[in-house]
Structure 1
Amino acid sequence: MAELEDGENDARGSLFESPVEIGANGRPTGVELELPADEPERGSEPFDPDSVSIDILQVTVEELLDRLTRGALDLAPDFQRRASMWSEVQQSRLIESSLLGIPLPPFFLAQQENDDWSVVDGTQRLTALVRFMAPGLINATPLALRGLDFLEQFEGKGYQELPGRLRIRLRETRLVVHLVRLGTPEAVKFNVFSRINAAGLPLTRQEIRHAMIPGPARDFLADLTEEPAFGEATGWGVSNERMTDREMVLRYLAFRLSPPEEYRQQDFEQFLNEAMHRVNALSDEQREWEARQFREAMKCAHDVFGRHAFRKSVGRRRKSPVNKALFEAVAVNLADLEDHQRELLVTSRDKVQADLAFQLDVDWNFARALSVDTSNAENVRTRFRVVKQVVQGVLSGD
């Protein structure tokens, strides 16, 4: 298909030029920034302050290790798969602070069923302590102290190589724990945890979900983002730091498991929280099927759109960032097809590209639904409807 030159004007205007999203760590995420609505969103429904139940406890490191041993503490570190975990020097300096008696920032935990606790804020700090003192509990390699500022005599030492008095000091270190009780509504918990900035780096929304909602959805999202087909379709351009990629895949799953045309949600974050529960409720066979459909959708998108898959630059030479809203609409529509229908789209790739580019150029509501107030119910239905019309038009030969 004919491509527009970079300087040519079309109806996409400034929406096409949307900047790249910057993550909480200050780095580009590789996806297009979504713009807020012209008018402030109503957001979450107000809640009764009395529904917030938070206890402030003092707990020793040894007590937390005991909970972890008994399976009553959900650390959810996912450190083997996370690119943003602390370095060994950062972990070592936290251990050094504890050995020097310097108080650590408060930990924020959520109470689960059977009085289990999930760590929401403080995962990396607690992981450092566990990795040094009892690495077998999290299947981690033991931590040897490195880069110490004051206790240089313990450089390269492991936990068992410390003097007995220092080992006792670590185990008896008291930590301040803010425990959000089980009876607190989930939407309230999410709001509370969204306000936390204990260590200077705000929690991302997906990190909160990951910690707050245990279950197989955690590993399922991680597995999908590690699929080669996902990487190829997105040009390996979506950051895996701070779970940016997992949130994008969760958005796809949310609309895959809940029909877009029925979407009425006012609080988009709660909609994604509910999607985590839906994924948890699937059987192993259902998750295998969803994984298969996701892979096929990613392969089809790559084969049809090439390097412009999930980007508003279809029909242009210069590649734009991945657009999360377009990712949802295209991926869900492709996942809903049969294999032979996806094959037909691939053989008709030029027409699919041309038709989608045409809609981006002439349909202002569609272009807006991909970049502005993307959680608005009408915008959600608009983008899914237009992409479906493009797909079905090609399949029917129109």
Structure 2
Amino acid sequence: MITRNTTVDLLLSRIRTGRVDLQPDFQRQAGIWRATGKSRLIESLLLRIPLPTFYAAEGDDEAWAMVDGIQRLTTIAQFIEPAAIDQAPLRLANLEYLGKEYDGKTFDDLPGRLQTRLRETELIVHLIRRGTPEEVKFNIFARINTGGLPLSRQELRHALIPGKGREILREWAESDVFRSATSYSVRSERMVDREMILRFIAFRLTSPHDYDHDDFDRFLREAMRSLNTLSVAEVERLWAEFVAAMRAAEAIFQQHAFRKRDRAGGSRRMPINKALFEAISVNLAEFDGAGRAFLGERRRKVEKEFVGLMNDVDFQGAISQGTGDPGKVRLRFGLISEIFESVAER
């Protein structure tokens, strides 16, 4: 890792020329930082209050993937050079110290001396050099990822593993079939939806029976890298399996798809469970169309067996804690498979 002392102007130049990757779809739907928060960041710069250090990873093309400080840098760009990130100009609002004199003002409205002050503000960027082993890179960012709104694991994977997989996960997460199967209840701000889909893909590329990783996060990183290398035909095959699994899960479990069930079979709806999502969807993907349709026709029997499974202490543990443990992975996939197979055989 090296430390670069740079200026706002130089970073904006990198953004303009595409040498800083701000991940536009990585902004947690751009709704976490409101106008007041953005304005007060600019106010801090105007008051010469130092900003926290930025962290980035250098790619093979020498572009920087910003990992810590994305919201700050995006805000600065939106205020000074909004066209560089295809955003409407930021107008200052609700400033704490500079008063109403600057409320409603854009960068162009500021006096020249303040414009210069902003552009010449010095920033510190800790840069992980290209060629750094991926495992080391992720460990470093996991250690420094302790800010006010730390990145989720999927956000880190998204930032540090560029490629077509990013777009595939986004498109599938936004698909009607996924959103309907999950009752429109999976929020996208922290990329929870994309991680769920990555889990499905990971266990379609590697059978749960062959899973032997001691690091589930590394397993998902490997899957994301593999996704980047798949052919169009392979992606289309996975997509067809995913669509079929989503439709079947919704038909069988309806509003309770991918959720734990009350052990007494009550109607209270639980939150979506990631471990159940992968176990149910991957098992359904292994059936042919006729088999999935048959399970849908006998959904009451599937539901009865599934509710009964909620009384299995080992199964509860396999979908609740330490879900990346190989034994728990095989257990939950195996028991869900047994339910589907037993109903299909009757």
Q: Any idea what the Cα deviations from partners look like across 1:308-347, whole Å, max 9, x if unmatched?
A: 1111206332222222111110011112333332222211
Matched, 1:148 2:95: yes
Q: Which residue of 2 aligns with 1:329?
A: 279
Once the two structures are overlaid, the 10-residue window that deviates more, 135-144 or 193-202, is 193-202
Task: Say if 1:84 and 1:242, in contact at 8 Å, map to a contact too.
Answer: no
Q: Report how far residue 302 of structure 1 moved.
A: 1.1
2:152 maps to which residue?
A: 204
Q: Is the 8 A contact 2:249 2:281 kept in 1?
A: yes
User: Is the aligned partner of 1:158 residue 2:103?
Assistant: no
2:125 pairs, out of 159, 169, 177, with 177
Aligned residue for 2:29, secondary structure, equals coil
Using the aligned pairs only, state the percent identity: 46
Tell me, yes or no, if structure 1 residue 120 matches structure 2 residue 67: yes
- CA offsets 1:174-219 (integer angstroms, 9 cap, x no match): 1110111123221121111112246423222122112111222222
Please give the secondary structure, in 2, of the residue aligned with 1:176: strand
Unaligned runs of at least 5 residues, structure 1: 1-53
| Aligned match of 2:288 | 338
Q: How does 1:233-244 map to 2 (within 5 A)?
A: 233-244=181-192
Give, in angstroms, the shift of residue 87 of structure 1: 0.9
State the secondary structure of the residue aligned to 1:183.
coil
Aligned match of 2:38: 91
* Gap change, CA 1:213 and 1:318, over 3 Å in 2: same
Q: State the alpha-carbon separation in 2 of the partners of residues 288 and 166 from structure 1.
A: 53
Q: Comparing 174-183 with 311-320, which one deviates more in the overlay?
A: 311-320
Report deviation, 1:144: 1.5
Match of 2:166 in 1: 218
Shift of 1:108: 0.7
Query: Contact conserved, 2:26 with 2:155, CA < 8 A, in 1?
Result: no
Match of 1:297 in 2: 245
Match of 1:189, as an amino acid?
K
Q: Residues of 1 paired with 2:231 and 2:55: CA distance?
A: 31
Corresponding residue of 2:78 = 131
CA distances 1:213-245 after superposition (whole Å, capped 9, x unpaired): 122222222222222332232233323232222
Q: Confirm whether residue 286 of structure 1 aligns to residue 234 of structure 2.
A: yes
Whether the 8 Å contact between 1:73 and 1:119 is mirrored in structure 2 is: yes
CA distance in 1, matches of 2:131, 2:269: 48
Of 329, 336, 342, the residue aligned with 1:387 is 336
Change (3 A) 1:79 1:279: closer
Task: Give 2:281's aligned amino acid.
Answer: A
Task: Report the CA distance between 1:84 and its aligned residue.
Answer: 4.4
Task: Using CA pairs under 8 Å that are at least 6 residues apart, name the structure with larger relative contact order, 1 or 2.
Answer: 1
2:314 match: 365
Aligned mates of 1:256, 1:85 — CA distance in 2? 33
Q: Is the 8 A contact 1:207 1:242 kept in 2?
A: yes
Match of 1:46 in 2: none
Aligned mates of 1:156, 1:282 — CA distance in 2: 49
Give the SS at the match of 1:195: helix
| Corresponding residue of 1:67 | 14
Moved more, 282-291 or 93-102: 282-291
Partners of 2:36 and 2:237 in 1: how far apart? 42
The letter for the 2-side match of 1:250 is L
- Higher helix fraction (1 or 2): 2
**What SS does the aligned partner of 2:124 have?**
strand
Alignment of 1:244-259 (within 5 A): 244-259=192-207
Matched, 1:273 2:221: yes
Report the Cα distance in structure 2 between the residues aligned to 1:263 and 1:303, rounded to whole angstroms. 29
Distance 1:83 1:95, change over 3 A: closer
Paired residue for 1:192?
A: 140
Task: For residue 240 of structure 1, give the secondary structure of its aligned residue in structure 2.
Answer: coil
Match of 1:262 in 2: 210
Number of positions where the alignment pairs a residue of Structure 1 with one of Structure 2: 343
Q: Which residue of 1 aligns with 2:325?
A: 376
Task: Output the amino acid matched with 2:274.
Answer: K
Q: TM-score, normalization: structure 2?
A: 0.92
- Letter of the aligned partner of 1:310 in structure 2? F
- Partner amino acid, structure 2, of 1:138: I
